[in-house]
């Protein structure tokens, strides 16, 4: 039997939160339960640290608690929430960049340009469900390298790539979040991907893409 709360939309829960918080947190807790895993996944892909991802995820929902009454609902709640998650993760990377400014060590680049014409986007790679220990280790190294590249990439480029390729937001949703035209969003994402590919090639090398992984279309 499906309970009534199971079919309540995010939008309805947001309206309730605006009326109930801070004294009644029931609707807020439902939103947290519904989106906690997704937010954690987004943050973890960026920072590649379980402990840090857990801390940032908690911070994200604290921000939601304090700011949900200001949310105007022009975009979906999930878009707004994932933007907070993205910005929080990027802020964490900026802190790491400042702390470790001179400690970034490029991985092998000797073969980094051999397969450039294939135009494989490492941001879209997802671990295969049937990989062995060696393949999983390679995929973990790739994720860590992606995180390293994101720390060096322009903040706006990182933000666009995370919204599109990590959060799976549509171009229309990104346009709504950023209050830009659809063509402008597509152009900026294209430029961000080019910048990422160039920096990824210099920093990591394309041999890491040889690990068995599934691409998103």
Instruction: Please report, for the domain that includes residue 161, its CATH number.
Output: 1.10.10.10
Residues 39 and 110 in one domain: no
| pLDDT score of 101 | 53
**Integer Rg of the chain from CA:** 19
What does the DSSP 8-state code read for residue 49? Answer: -
Q: What is the pTM of this model?
A: 0.62
- In terms of phi and psi (left: phi > 0; alpha: psi -120 to 50; beta: otherwise), the region of 91 is alpha
Residues forming a β-bridge with 126: 214
Q: Is 204 helix (H, G, I), strand (E, B) or coil?
A: coil
Residues 6 and 113 in one domain: no
- The encoded tokens of residue 60 equal 């994200």
Question: Could you list the residue range(s) of the whole structural domain that residue 209 is in?
Answer: 104-217
- Spatial contact of 134 and 189, defined as CB atoms under 8 Å apart: no
Residues 19 and 35 in one domain: yes
Tell me the C-alpha distance between 79 and 29, whole Å. 18
| pLDDT score of 152 | 83
In the chain, how many domains are there? 2
CATH code (residue 34) = 1.10.1740.10
- Spatial contact of 112 and 207, defined as CB atoms under 8 Å apart: yes
Q: Examine the fold and report which residue of 103, 127, 155 is the final residue of a domain before the chain moves on.
A: 103
Q: What is the pLDDT along the chain (217 residues), one digit of tens a residue?
A: 444 445 799 999 999 999 999 999 999 999 999 999 999 988 888 887 889 999 999 999 999 999 999 998 877 898 889 889 988 988 887 776 666 554 444 433 333 333 333 333 445 444 444 556 776 677 777 777 887 888 788 888 888 888 888 777 888 888 887 888 999 999 999 999 999 888 888 877 654 443 333 334 3
Residues 188 and 210 in one domain: yes
Residues 10 and 27 in one domain: yes
Residues 180 and 215 in one domain: yes
């Amino acid at each position: 039997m499906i309970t009534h709360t199971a079919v309540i939309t995010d939008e309805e829960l947001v309206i309730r939160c605006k009326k109930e918080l801070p004294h009644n947190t029931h609707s807020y807790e439902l939103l947290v339960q519904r989106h906690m895993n997704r937010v954690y996944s987004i943050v973890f892909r960026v920072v590649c640290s379980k402990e840090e991802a857990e801390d940032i995820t908690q911070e994200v929902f604290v921000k939601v608690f304090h700011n949900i009454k200001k949310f105007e609902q022009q975009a979906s709640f999930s878009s707004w929430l994932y933007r907070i998650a993205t910005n929080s993760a990027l802020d964490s990377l900026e802190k790491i960049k400042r702390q470790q400014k001179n400690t970034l060590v490029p991985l092998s680049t000797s073969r980094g340009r051999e397969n450039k014409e294939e135009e494989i986007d490492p941001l879209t790679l997802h671990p295969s469900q049937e990989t062995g220990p060696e393949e999983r280790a390679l995929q973990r190294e790739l994720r860590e390298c992606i995180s390293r590249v994101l720390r060096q990439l322009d903040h706006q480029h990182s933000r666009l790539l995370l919204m599109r390729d990590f959060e799976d937001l549509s171009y229309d949703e990104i346009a709504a979040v950023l209050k830009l035209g659809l063509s402008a969003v597509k152009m900026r994402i294209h430029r961000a991907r080019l910048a990422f590919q160039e920096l990824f090639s210099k920093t990591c090398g394309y041999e890491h893409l040889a690990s068995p992984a599934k691409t998103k279309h």
